[in-house]
Chain A
């Protein structure tokens, strides 16, 4: 008869070793045999769509998800092909990517950095995705981009407008198709000075987080260069819902323009409050008082309703554009979902196609090969006109739209009108621009994760 002796110390030791083994992320164990993280081995490959499915940006996330699903359909050769028919690159043949059918899993960012990282991590480690796309906030984008860099996955950013995403926080594994705060300001300032004159005094209300700060810095610099004076910049808490106490002091500040560096619910409420206070009916310094919203989205415009009429802003893309890429995408999206796509949907759709195309051109899912294929890539036909994915910072450079709230909308989607298509040259800046981290900002090196 054998006798087993168990000691307390022995049990603890065994438990600790076993626990560490179980807890070791599969990312490290699985990739040891592969050339890079989540190298697809079967007949399918998985994309991870990380969008806000709950929380205040859930509607925007839902629209992104619709577009991503449509992009996967088109890559797999289903549906009408959408903008793949107009895309300048013909590397995708409608049979998946490198002969593998594309599948996708989704995660919920909740528009919270920690939740977004957790859902991205789960998709990478448990579902084995080769790339992450989507999102509706710069805080989330910077957090998830950092995670993808560590994990050896490509991050194709969704809606993120802070300069930091491809500025001081740029990463070799991260790519942004959406425009940024600097580009909004560079496109808007000339239109504003043409419409409202060069002798204006601006009062800024700014959401107190990364996007708000860079947006305010950009628009203040661009308008000051046109001759405007910045009277004041007041930081407002992100959680604020009633902006009346921030708007009341504007009346007596001597300002004749209010710039709302707010997005989402913040912007809907601050604009509504400003209109309630009758700001746009006032004449200050002998001029009509005006309001500017540097970054627009269709959903915000819908939320603000009539208050948006005549207010200037900017967008990455709009469904009303008449180029072939836009028409193909809007037709395809409209037929499937019965509504026009938002600009956050378009950027996610384009990013998904761009990733798949880069894989096809590189002939590999290896993130470093994909990154190389995307760097310096020039393309057209996805709705934004000729576009460059700049190698230095992984930022797309393309025309920017200056928008205005439509005075007489003909239907529920007709809230904004395109005032001007600002040419790409006017919004281009040096990769080592001070607002983008200066000379110290660096992509680092690509991480394949193996």
Chain B
């Protein structure tokens, strides 16, 4: 039982990342009709926003300590971050420690900006082209973004820790009446899950309860009619692209302490997120979220030793297996709308 609870927690956590990326993908597909293969790269750029802010906060001045030596035998150059000098060592250290949560604020304008530039500068020229062209150009863009990040940050993963107060693990076992140490779960992963729920809730509330959101939803249902009513739907869709980029970016920022960011982390999530979108139903926002969590949990269960001993290698194919079964039984996905990608 405790093992099952652990894998459900794990699955919800993995599902959070899938759901956030798939939500952004569906937003873009639903509004602009573009299959955005650069979406994983936006997730990766989000993680590198966290890396960048922690690097900025750690910018240091150098002093020479003649009492110590570096590896070549020269006097040791000691680096002290400017924030330590400006705000005192204690507050300076806690600023660096909290770099990842602070990056949330730092990343939102950057990600929206990148989203705008991507949409206005490149993707808008492909609205009327075939889906294959859109896939090729966005995939190419993903590779370019990836290589740019590699050029500036290198290919090696860059450790970006969670704040000290949020490291360590929470003992769920004791909380649920099991023995101590049977169900423990890292604090930061719990934070990630609740943060994702908040972002997903925020996006849904925005679309549901604001006039802007209402127009966007109307545009998703019938773009032409909304245009005929004199509403500039294109401008709103551009903003939605920016918001989708920000959602992917936020998913990336908060993911940085879970696995050290590297330049190809976006690609690792991209294919899975597309499967999530297809399983959820093309163009369906609740479908994307539900499928994200569902596939996350199933993937976790498939990694259990008991399951792997019965079906070796199932952990590597479970997501695709479920996708095939769902597409055979419900060709539009779990919550797919009629008419989407069916012209």
Binding site for B on A (CB under 8 A): 55-59, 232, 234, 237, 239, 241-242, 244-246, 248-249, 251-252, 265, 268-269, 272-273, 276-278, 281-282, 284, 299, 302-307, 319-320, 330-331, 334-335, 340, 410-411, 413
Report B1-24 residues with CB < 8 Å from chain A CB. 2-3, 6-7, 10-11, 13-14
Are B155 and A242 neighbours in the complex by a CB distance under 8 Å? no
Choice from B156, B264, B300, B305 contacting A59 with Cβ under 8 Å: B156
Instruction: Flag if B157 contacts A277 (CB, 8 Å).
Output: no
Q: Are B156 and A249 in contact (CB under 8 A)?
A: no
Which of A252, A320, A410 is the one whose CB lies under 8 Å from B2? A252
User: B179 → chain A, closest Cβ, in Å?
Assistant: 9
Are B159 and A334 closer than 8 Å at their CB atoms? no
**Using Cβ atoms and an 8 Å threshold, which residues of chain B touch A249?**
3, 6, 304-305
Interface assignment of B308: CB less than 8 Å from any CB of chain A: yes
Closest 3 CB pairs of A and B: A305-B159, A278-B169, A245-B303
Task: Name the residue in A241, A248, A265, A304 with the highest tally of chain B Cβ atoms < 10 Å from its Cβ.
Answer: A248
A302 and B158 alpha carbons, distance in the complex (Å): 8
Known pairs A237-B316, A245-B299; A306 contacts B6 (CB<8 A): no
A57 to B262, CA, bound (A): 11
CB-defined contacts of B169 to chain A, threshold 8 Å:
276-278, 281
From known contacts A277-B184, A281-B168, A334-B72, infer whether A306 and B260 are also in contact, taking CB-CB under 8 Å: no
Residues of chain B from 131 to 157 with CB closer than 8 A to chain A in the complex: 150, 154-157
Query: Do A276 and B189 touch across chains, with their CB atoms under 8 A apart?
Result: yes
In the complex, A268→B159 CA distance in Å? 9
Q: Is the CB of B260 within 8 A of A59?
A: no
B258 within 8 A of A: yes
Please name all residues of chain A whose beta carbon is closer than 8 Å to the beta carbon of B94 when the two chains form the complex. none
Return chain A residues, CB-CB under 8 Å to B305.
232, 234, 249
In the complex with contacts A245-B7, A265-B262, A304-B159, A252-B182 CB distance below 8 A = yes
B-side residues, CB < 8 A to A, are: 2-3, 6-7, 10-11, 13-14, 68, 70-72, 76, 150, 154-159, 161, 167-169, 181-186, 188-189, 258-260, 262, 264-265, 268, 299-300, 303-305, 308, 315-316
**Minimum CB–CB distance for A250 against chain B, Å:** 10
Q: Given A252-B2, A278-B186, are A246 and B157 also a contact pair (CB < 8 Å)?
A: no
Closest chain A residue, CB of each to CB of B2: A252
Q: What are the residues of chain B within 8 A of A237 when measuring CB–CB?
A: 315-316
Are A278 and B182 closer than 8 Å at their CB atoms? Answer: no
Q: Which residues of A contact B10 (CB under 8 A)?
A: 244-245, 248
Contacts of A234 in B (CB 8 A): 305, 308
Closest chain A residue, CB of each to CB of B70:
A411
Chain A contacts of B300 at CB under 8 A?
Answer: 244-245
Q: Which residues of chain A have C-beta atoms less than 8 A from B308's C-beta?
A: 234
Residue from B13, B71, B157, B264 in contact with A334 in the complex, judged by beta carbons closer than 8 Å: B71
Q: Please list 14 pairs of residues, one from A and one from B, whose beta carbons are closer than 8 Å in the complex, sorted by A's number.
A: A239-B316, A242-B14, A242-B259, A249-B3, A251-B184, A273-B259, A276-B167, A278-B184, A281-B168, A282-B181, A303-B157, A319-B71, A411-B70, A411-B71
How many whole Å from A412's CB to the nearest CB in chain B? 9
* B155 CB contact (under 8 Å) in A57, A239, A246: A57
Contacts of B184 in A (CB 8 A): 251, 277-278
On chain B, the residues within 8 Å of A265 by CB distance are 157, 262
Cβ contact of B7, chosen from A232, A248, A272, cutoff 8 A: A248
Known contacts A252-B2, A305-B260; A241/B70 CB under 8 A: no
State in angstroms the CA–CA spacing of A410 and B71 once bound together: 11
A242-B192 Cα distance, complex, nearest whole Å = 14
- Residue pair B155, A272 in contact (C-beta under 8 Å): no
A413 to B72, CA, bound (A): 12
Shortest A390–chain B CB gap in Å is: 32
Contact of B265 among A241, A272, A330, A413 (CB under 8 A): A241
Inter-chain contact B315/A59, CB cutoff 8 Å: no
Docked-complex contact B71 and A244, CB < 8 angstroms: no
Report yes or no: B155 in contact with A335, Cβ–Cβ below 8 A.
no
Which residues of chain A are near B167, meaning CB under 8 Å?
Answer: 276
Given A303-B158, A334-B72; A246-B303 close (CB under 8 Å): yes
The smallest C-beta distance from B270 to any residue of chain A, in angstroms, reads 12
Which of B71, B168, B265, B305 has most A Cβ within 10 Å? B71
Q: Cα distance A277–B173 when bound, in Å?
A: 13
Q: Give B252 Cβ to nearest chain A Cβ, in Å.
A: 13
Residues of A within 8 A of B186 (CB): 276-278
CA distance A198 to B70 in the complex (A): 39
User: Cβ of A251 and Cβ of B260 under 8 Å apart?
Assistant: no
